[in-house]
């Protein structure tokens, strides 16, 4: 069953399958923030190789991301990484609307067609959903300090 809006963290938590056969796990989502779209998922496959799954080639289900063919998984992840922003790299970035700080990026809500619907931010008042649009921007992500 295909779902409507999914969060990046949900898609990173379910297996990638073909006909219920596990192919791997999503380890990151690549975003085109300028276009307001998710490009696809970086998949760590069972053969220990990282591959790229274009979002248009996937069905985003509740329990798995399903692909119609294992051939949908592309070998050249670096090509897509160079053209997008990795969710794991922008998570924790400051989110602002018209210059006003709203909090830090915790998650990204993605529609079934790949469009970014909203950012989920951590703010002093808790989690908030911020509708994505031209007035919404991301600052630099805070790097985690070494323990």
Residue after which a domain boundary falls, among 87, 114, 132: 87
Domain encompassing residue 12: 6-87
How many domains does the structure of the chain reveal? Answer: 2
Residue 61: the pLDDT is 85
Contact present, 97 and 108 (Cβ < 8 Å)? no
> What is the rounded distance in angstroms from the CA atom of residue 77 to the CA atom of residue 43?
9
Contact present, 32 and 83 (Cβ < 8 Å)? yes
Does the model's pTM come out above 0.85? Answer: yes
> What is the rounded distance in angstroms from the CA atom of residue 65 to the CA atom of residue 52?
13
> What is the rounded distance in angstroms from the CA atom of residue 90 to the CA atom of residue 68?
30
Query: Can you give the CATH number for the domain in which 112 is found?
Result: 2.30.30
Question: What are the per-10-residue average pLDDT scores of the chain (147 residues)?
Answer: 78 94 96 95 95 92 91 92 94 95 96 94 93 92 51
Contact present, 72 and 91 (Cβ < 8 Å)? no
């Amino acid at each position: 069953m295909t779902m409507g809006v999914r969060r990046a963290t949900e898609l990173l938590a379910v297996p990638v399958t073909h006909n219920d056969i596990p192919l791997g796990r999503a380890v990151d989502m690549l975003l085109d923030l300028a276009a307001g779209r998710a490009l696809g998922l970086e998949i760590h496959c069972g053969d220990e190789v990282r591959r790229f799954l274009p979002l248009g080639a996937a069905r985003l289900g509740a329990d798995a991301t399903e692909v119609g063919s294992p051939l949908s998984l592309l070998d050249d992840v670096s090509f897509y990484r160079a053209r997008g922003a990795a969710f794991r790299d922008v998570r924790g970035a400051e989110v602002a609307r018209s210059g006003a700080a709203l909090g830090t990026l915790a998650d990204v809500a993605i529609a079934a067609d790949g469009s970014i619907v909203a950012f989920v931010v951590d703010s002093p008042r808790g989690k908030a959903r911020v509708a994505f649009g031209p007035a919404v921007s991301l600052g630099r992500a805070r790097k985690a300090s070494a323990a």
